[in-house]
């Protein structure tokens, strides 16, 4: 599907947008997997399991940071502040949901994807095409 979208969007969207969205969806999948593993291990985990979780948090946070840095290229400069947590829970009062206030919570960070912005915001910013790409992926 990714290859088909790349071929279809050539010249229409910014080069790399399909790959960027696909990468973000893989990060989202890694978030879900890590969140499940953290719940399963809880505080009863061995030292090795806790170390593995910590390393996965670090790797995931690094991937999220990369997505955030590239977000303006695909979403425009005004995307910041339009991202909503996926579960609709906005307990975090910080200005930027991507830079977490406590370490080790990368598995719950909202990602810079059109689906986290909502279709109304995507229409306002002219990102309906990107939202459609995400749906297809």
What are the tens digits of pLDDT across the range 30-84? 999 999 998 888 778 888 998 999 899 999 999 999 988 888 887 777 666 666 5
Average pLDDT of span 74-98: 55
How many structural domains comprise the chain? 1
Most confident of 19-33, 81-95, 96-110: 19-33
Contacts of 50 by beta carbon, 8 Å cutoff, 6+ apart: 41
Confidence class of residue 13 from pLDDT cuts 50, 70 and 90? low
Cβ–Cβ < 8 Å for 107, 57? yes
* Average pLDDT value for the chain: 77
Higher-scoring residue by pLDDT: 69, 105: 69
Parent domain of 82: 2-136
CA 95, distance to chain mean position in Å, is 17
């Amino acid at each position: 599907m990714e290859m088909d979208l790349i071929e279809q969007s050539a010249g229409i969207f910014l080069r790399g947008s399909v790959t960027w969205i696909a990468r973000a969806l893989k990060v989202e999948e890694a978030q879900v997997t890590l969140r499940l593993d953290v719940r399963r291990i809880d505080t009863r985990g061995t030292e090795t399991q806790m170390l593995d979780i910590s390393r996965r948090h670090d790797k995931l946070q690094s991937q999220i940071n990369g997505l955030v840095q590239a977000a303006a290229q695909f979403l425009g400069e005004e995307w910041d502040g339009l991202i909503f947590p996926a579960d609709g829970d906005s307990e975090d009062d910080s200005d930027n949901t991507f830079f977490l206030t406590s370490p080790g919570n990368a598995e719950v960070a909202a990602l810079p994807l059109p689906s986290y912005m909502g279709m109304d915001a995507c229409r306002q910013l002219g990102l309906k095409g990107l939202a459609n790409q995400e749906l297809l992926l």
